[in-house]
């Protein structure tokens, strides 16, 4: 049986956790979603809430966020087009070892539903990267799925692959939420839908993809990430993007990014200058 968990701000100002079923949330006597994911049985609900009446928080506060790159053919093509070192991305797509990098630690650059994403002021080509995220347990065991946004500066990375930390790691560069899902069947692909809106709510870009187009499996990426690497339980591994806006598009303050994965929910974040989030 699938389960979908959220965290929300209670009337007491503290985070609470619950199970999201349709338009309601069954509050549980807990605030730690990781503990609920690892529990054999859930405690009895203490009350019921209307989902629309709640302010959702990060469903889990990941001690680390890791990202995989070039896991979709579309991503491989885009990275080759942007880069002066095209062979690097062609080789990693077909290699046994995936591209992996640390996006955040201590949840200092990761925001939740409704919170502001950041874009770099020294980049003229910023993009969202909608991705399925994996919540990891001990030794890379895959516990649940969530939605992630690996905001990136394509021109900085394209100038030199050694600049990837600057292209990927800055204030508000990552979003996760709105829920974590334990699916019935991990083999069923996840559909991913992206929509970017301007300040008037008009659609600037929209597209869809599916994790069925990924070259690598979820567990393969998790196993590589945890190999000889003490990733803390509750960390999130983003599995790469297959959605790339056209080259003339630049994500900018005032835009809003919506990422929907139907079985998980919709992650919505307004965009701001990264410097304003410091």
167 domain residue, yes or no: yes
Looking at the fold, whether 47 and 74 belong to one and the same domain comes out as no
Looking at the fold, whether 155 and 88 belong to one and the same domain comes out as yes
> Where does a domain end: 13, 28, 53?
53
242 domain residue, yes or no: yes
Looking at the fold, whether 214 and 82 belong to one and the same domain comes out as yes
Domain tally, the chain: 2
Structural domain of residue 117, as residue ranges?
Answer: 64-277
Looking at the fold, whether 148 and 24 belong to one and the same domain comes out as no
At 73 the pLDDT is 83
59 domain residue, yes or no: no
76 domain residue, yes or no: yes
58 domain residue, yes or no: no
For the stretch 144-177, pLDDT in tens is 999 999 999 999 998 988 999 999 999 999 999 9
210 domain residue, yes or no: yes
- Measured CA to CA, the distance from residue 109 to residue 117 in angstroms comes to 9
Looking at the fold, whether 235 and 98 belong to one and the same domain comes out as yes
CATH number of the domain where residue 230 is located: 3.90.850.10
72 domain residue, yes or no: yes
How many residues are recorded in the chain? 278
Phi, psi of 105 (to 5 degrees): -140, 140
Looking at the fold, whether 166 and 268 belong to one and the same domain comes out as yes
Residue listed under structure tokens 């939740």: 112
Looking at the fold, whether 78 and 36 belong to one and the same domain comes out as no
Looking at the fold, whether 118 and 175 belong to one and the same domain comes out as yes
119 domain residue, yes or no: yes
The answer for residues whose C-beta is within 8 angstroms of residue 266's C-beta and 6 or more apart is: 147, 178, 258, 259, 260
At 104 the pLDDT is 98
Q: Please state whether the predicted TM-score (pTM) of the whole model is above 0.85.
A: yes
Looking at the fold, whether 104 and 8 belong to one and the same domain comes out as no
**Residue 248 burial by CB count (10 A; 0-12/13-18/19+): exposed, middle or buried?**
exposed
- Measured CA to CA, the distance from residue 56 to residue 17 in angstroms comes to 10
Looking at the fold, whether 144 and 10 belong to one and the same domain comes out as no
At 68 the pLDDT is 97
Phi-psi region of 97 (alpha: psi -120 to 50; beta: other; left: phi over 0): beta
CATH number of the domain where residue 10 is located: 2.30.30
Q: What tokens does 203 get?
A: 């659609």
Looking at the fold, whether 69 and 48 belong to one and the same domain comes out as no
Looking at the fold, whether 30 and 121 belong to one and the same domain comes out as no
> Where does a domain end: 29, 53, 77?
53
Residues of the chain with confidence (pLDDT) below 70 = 75-76, 78-80, 82-87
């Amino acid at each position: 049986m699938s389960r979908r968990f959220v965290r929300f701000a209670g009337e007491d100002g503290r985070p609470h956790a619950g199970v999201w079923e349709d338009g309601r949330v069954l509050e549980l006597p807990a605030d730690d979603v990781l503990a609920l994911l690892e529990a054999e049985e859930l405690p009895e609900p203490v009350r019921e809430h209307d989902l629309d009446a709640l302010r959702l928080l990060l469903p889990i506060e990941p001690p680390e966020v890791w990202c995989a790159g070039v896991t979709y053919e579309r991503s491989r093509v885009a990275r080759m087009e942007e880069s002066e070192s095209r062979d690097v991305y062609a080789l990693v797509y077909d290699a046994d070892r995936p591209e992996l990098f640390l996006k955040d630690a201590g949840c200092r650059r990761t925001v939740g539903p409704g919170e502001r994403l950041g874009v770099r002021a020294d980049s003229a080509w910023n993009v969202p990267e909608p991705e399925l995220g994996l919540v990891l347990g001990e030794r890379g065991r895959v516990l649940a799925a969530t939605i992630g946004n690996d905001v990136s500066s394509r021109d900085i990375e394209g100038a030199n692959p050694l600049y990837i930390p600057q292209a990927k790691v800055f204030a508000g560069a990552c979003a996760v939420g709105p829920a974590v899902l334990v699916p019935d069947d991990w083999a069923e692909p996840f559909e991913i839908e992206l929509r970017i809106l301007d300040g008037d709510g008009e659609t600037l870009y929209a597209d869809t993809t599916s994790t069925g187009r990924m070259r690598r499996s979820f567990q393969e990426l998790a196993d590589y990430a945890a190999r000889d690497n003490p990733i803390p339980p509750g960390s999130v591994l983003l599995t790469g993007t297959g959605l790339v806006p056209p080259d003339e598009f630049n994500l900018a303050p005032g835009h809003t990014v919506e990422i929907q994965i139907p079985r998980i929910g919709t992650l919505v974040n307004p965009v701001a200058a990264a410097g304003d989030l410091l």
